[in-house]
């Protein structure tokens, strides 16, 4: 017998969904700073920005298993999104029935609740949790590498987690592998929710190119080498994919280099436009130095610390160059894929705001804490 996921959602979630709406209304109702005439609008906002409830539904549906498969989680969030869309009229009727009882002269035909849009909330729940999956998987890998070490906390000490929240100064362009699409040049999109994104491999390739130019001798230890090579090795850098929040059509017209006249008609490109926001995430973990770092021989430890210091010095310079000068998009030579020099960033748990020069200064603080000689 075919398992009806939609029926399961309807049976198990409908009561909780209604209870969630009641709780949100109680919160709004008790807030004396909000006029009664404005409470429907505030309720609408409360319902639209709550993503936790959608994660809770999925976890409960999977029998409270927090160790979830990302693919299954994404598919179920898509089903939940469809469920919300299908049940929209019933959800609105239920909310109107509550407000009619609570607000004198409530006119449901003119209520802002009619504009309620909670179809996006499952998407946002997915975006939040998928980043946790990525981190979990990365840390699992690191945990495995640390099993041979006498001290697991030793590895955590040398783990560096960088997040940079950026705004595009120029559009970002990349090629999707969609076989059937309305245009020839679609931007790469997330497979589940079709939002534009930058692949982790794109970040890796872009940063590798910068490091090859400024310090080629450490490329292999940061990025690894080809798996097919005789002595394959894993790099010390682990990259995340980045979701971008906007999409639009752009147009380019190829010109003859000599005559400067169009050689053919305009070409439509799907891009993430300037002003789009995203987060660059990178983990540095020198797993191959753990034994030296835990060694009782001072010279071994000092050499390992020198390598770490050198790696971080290179990252301090390479990341800003990639973001501001080299770019990380297709058509980089045409100026695509660079960011504004106003960022919000985290290095491990420390949060900062400013420019990439501020980022460099914070990196210097980390680098000095390692001491050692550059290796």
| pLDDT category of residue 260 using cuts at 50, 70 and 90 | low
Beta-carbon contacts of residue 165 (< 8 Å; ≥ 6 apart)? 277, 278, 279, 343, 344, 345
Higher pLDDT among residues 80 and 192, named by residue: 80
**Interatomic CA distance for residues 189 and 176, integer angstroms:** 7
Cβ distance 312 to 366 under 8 Å? Answer: yes
Residues 198 and 289 in one domain: yes
Per residue in 234-249, pLDDT (tens digit) is: 889 988 888 888 888 7
Higher pLDDT among residues 162 and 147, named by residue: 162
Q: How many Cβ atoms sit within 10 Å of the Cβ of residue 154?
A: 14
Average pLDDT of the residues in 21-39: 93
| pLDDT category of residue 333 using cuts at 50, 70 and 90 | low
Q: Is residue 137 part of a domain?
A: no
Residues 177 and 103 in one domain: no
Residues 99 and 215 in one domain: no
Cβ distance 106 to 99 under 8 Å? Answer: yes
pLDDT above 70 covers a percentage of the chain that reads: 71
Q: Is residue 200 part of a domain?
A: yes
pLDDT at 133 over 60: no
Among candidate residues 103, 121, 139, the one where a domain is terminated: 121
| pLDDT category of residue 26 using cuts at 50, 70 and 90 | very high
Residues 170 and 104 in one domain: no
Residues 104 and 40 in one domain: yes
pLDDT at 147 over 70: no
Q: Is residue 132 part of a domain?
A: no
**Interatomic CA distance for residues 18 and 12, integer angstroms:** 11
pLDDT the model gives residue 254: 60
Nearest of 165, 141, 145, 80 to residue 346 by alpha carbon: 165
Residues 190 and 321 in one domain: yes
pLDDT the model gives residue 139: 53
Evaluate the CA torsion angle 145, 225, 243, 215 in order and state its sign: positive
Residues 117 and 156 in one domain: no
pTM of the model: 0.59
pLDDT at 353 over 70: yes
Beta-carbon contacts of residue 238 (< 8 Å; ≥ 6 apart)? 138, 141, 282, 283, 284, 285
Average pLDDT of the residues in 4-28: 77
Q: Which domain does 334 fall in, by range?
A: 148-370
Per residue in 190-218, pLDDT (tens digit) is: 666 677 888 888 999 999 999 999 999 99
Among candidate residues 86, 121, 156, the one where a domain is terminated: 121
Q: How many Cβ atoms sit within 10 Å of the Cβ of residue 31?
A: 12
| pLDDT category of residue 38 using cuts at 50, 70 and 90 | very high
Please state at what angle helix 88-102 crosses helix 5-30, rounded to 10 degrees: 30
Q: Is residue 142 part of a domain?
A: no
Q: Is residue 134 part of a domain?
A: no
Residues 57 and 170 in one domain: no
Q: In total, how many domains does the chain have?
A: 2
User: Per mean pLDDT, which range of 15-24, 30-39, 227-236 is the poorest?
Assistant: 227-236
Residues 75 and 176 in one domain: no
Query: Burial level of 236, CB count in 10 A (0-12/13-18/19+)?
Result: buried
pLDDT at 55 over 90: no
Please state at what angle helix 52-61 crosses helix 120-146, rounded to 10 degrees: 70
Residues 232 and 321 in one domain: yes
Residues 195 and 323 in one domain: yes
Q: Is residue 131 part of a domain?
A: no
Average pLDDT taken over every residue of the chain:
80
Residues 13 and 114 in one domain: yes
Higher pLDDT among residues 332 and 372, named by residue: 332
To which H or E segment does residue 271 belong?
strand 267-271
Among candidate residues 78, 103, 121, the one where a domain is terminated: 121
Q: Is residue 130 part of a domain?
A: no
**Interatomic CA distance for residues 172 and 272, integer angstroms:** 5
Q: Is residue 135 part of a domain?
A: no
């Amino acid at each position: 017998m075919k398992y009806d996921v939609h029926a399961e959602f309807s049976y198990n979630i409908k009561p909780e969904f209604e209870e969630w709406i009641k709780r949100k209304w109680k919160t709004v109702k008790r807030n004396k700073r909000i006029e009664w005439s404005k409470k429907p609008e505030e309720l609408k906002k409360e319902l639209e920005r709550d993503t936790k409830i959608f994660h809770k539904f999925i976890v409960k549906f999977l029998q409270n298993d927090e160790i979830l498969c990302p693919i299954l989680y994404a598919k179920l969030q898509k089903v939940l999104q469809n469920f919300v869309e299908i049940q929209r009229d019933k959800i609105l009727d239920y909310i109107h029935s509550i407000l009619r009882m609570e607000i004198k002269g409530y006119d449901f035909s003119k209520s802002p609740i009619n504009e309620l849009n909670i179809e996006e909330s499952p998407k946002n729940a997915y975006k939040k949790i998928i980043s946790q999956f990525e981190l979990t998987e990365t840390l699992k890998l690191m945990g495995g590498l640390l099993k041979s070490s006498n001290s697991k906390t030793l590895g955590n000490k040398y783990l560096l987690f960088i997040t940079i929240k950026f705004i595009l100064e120029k559009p970002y362009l990349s090629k999707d592998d969609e076989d059937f699409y309305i245009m020839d040049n679609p931007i790469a999109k997330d497979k589940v929710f079709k939002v534009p994104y930058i692949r982790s491999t794109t970040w890796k390739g872009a940063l590798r190119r910068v490091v090859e130019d400024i310090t080629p001798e450490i490329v292999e230890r940061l990025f690894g080498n080809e798996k097919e090579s005789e002595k394959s090795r894993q790099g010390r850098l682990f990259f995340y994919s980045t979701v971008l929040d906007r999409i639009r059509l752009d147009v380019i017209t190829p010109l003859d280099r000599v005559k400067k006249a169009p050689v053919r008609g305009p070409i439509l490109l799907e891009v993430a436009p300037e002003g789009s926001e995203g987060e660059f995430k990178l983990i540095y973990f020198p797993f191959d130095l753990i034994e030296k770092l835990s060694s009782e021989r001072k010279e071994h430890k000092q050499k390992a610390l020198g390598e770490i210091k050198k790696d971080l010095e290179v990252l301090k310079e390479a990341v800003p160059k990639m973001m501001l000068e080299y770019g990380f998009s297709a058509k980089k030579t045409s100026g695509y894929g660079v960011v504004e020099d106003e960022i919000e960033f985290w290095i491990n748990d420390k949060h900062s705001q400013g420019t990439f020069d501020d980022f460099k200064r914070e990196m210097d603080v980390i680098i000095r804490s390692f001491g050692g000689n550059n290796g």
